[in-house]
Amino acid sequence: MAGKVYLVGAGPGDPELITVKGLRCLEQADVILYDRLVNPELLKYAKEGAQLVYCGKLPHYHTMKQETINRFLVKYAKKGYQVVRLKGGDPFVFGRGGEEAEECTKHDVPFEVVPGITAGIAASAYAGIPVTHRTLSKSFAFITGHQAGDVAAEHQWASLANGVDTICVYMGVAHLSTITKQLISHGKSPKTPIALIQWGTLTDQRTVVGTLETIEELAAKSQISNPSMIVIGEVVRLHEKLNWFEEEILQKIPVVQG
């Protein structure tokens, strides 16, 4: 049987947020190459005998380089295996899925993309923050925090500050200071609401809300680190009213009587 590569989005963390099609691919895979932020619960759906290959990456440390992952996908598929590349969120949203698809095409390996729920939408929703709202936000942008120090991307800050209602930043905590300063210097009000959502959609989710001028201090005080989503815009004001998930978690924590 001919091999094939499935680029599957695992969703943002909550294992129940994977798609039905993504789950079916997992159950049928001969080989699963999975990332660090993929919930381990999903690997339980692998069939007996399936080969599991960890491809996790940490900031400044790659367990497996992207070029090696690309070669593995092609190698296993050429052997006739059904290969799942299981990626956190969505494969084509800062997941390097496009590069992996290009590699398959280069070597005449058939592939299929199974979209996943991306953290920019899911973590925001679990924090009670809709990225669009009829009166507060008619546009949103997904950006990577890695562009914060990229000179070639400098021109984008003016467009983001003045032309987009809601900005969702992936992998941006380490560049928080640069992001806030760039937006303010390009015209965004220092009073603009901003939220940091750590471990979005998981039971240890935490949300810290402030403004562009206060969030750095608040993040340091709360010891917010990756993985976290940054959401910027007036819709963040809805967090206090619509924060359904974290309130639900608190209700499930047993009260210890003194």
CA–CA dist 33, 49 (Å, integer): 14
CATH code reported for the domain at 4-114: 3.40.1010.10
> Can you identify the CATH homologous superfamily of domain 119-246?
Tetrapyrrole methylase, C-terminal domain (3.30.950.10)
- Annotated catalytic sites, by residue? 35, 57, 171
Q: Does pLDDT of 5 surpass 70?
A: yes
Q: Residue 209 to residues 6, 23, 24, 31, 217: CA-CA distances in angstroms?
A: 38, 34, 38, 41, 11
pLDDT digits (tens, 9 = 90+) for 60-81: 556 789 999 999 999 999 999 9
Split at pLDDT 50, 70, 90, the class of 146 is confident
pLDDT digits (tens, 9 = 90+) for 76-125: 999 999 999 999 999 999 999 999 999 999 999 999 999 999 999 999 99
Please list the helix, strand and coil fractions of the chain in percent, rounded to the nearest 5, in that order.
Answer: 40, 25, 35
DSSP lists the bridge partners of residue 144 as 170
Collapse the DSSP code of 217 into the 3-class scheme (helix H, G, I; strand E, B; otherwise coil) and give the result: helix
> Do the domains at 4-114 and 119-246 have one common CATH topology?
no
**Contact, 89 vs 118, CB < 8 A?**
yes
Name the residue ranges covered by the structural domains of the chain.
4-114, 119-246
- Listed in sequence order, the residues at least 6 apart from 106 whose beta carbon sits closer than 8 Å to its beta carbon are none
Q: State the average pLDDT over residues 3-24.
A: 97
Split at pLDDT 50, 70, 90, the class of 256 is very low
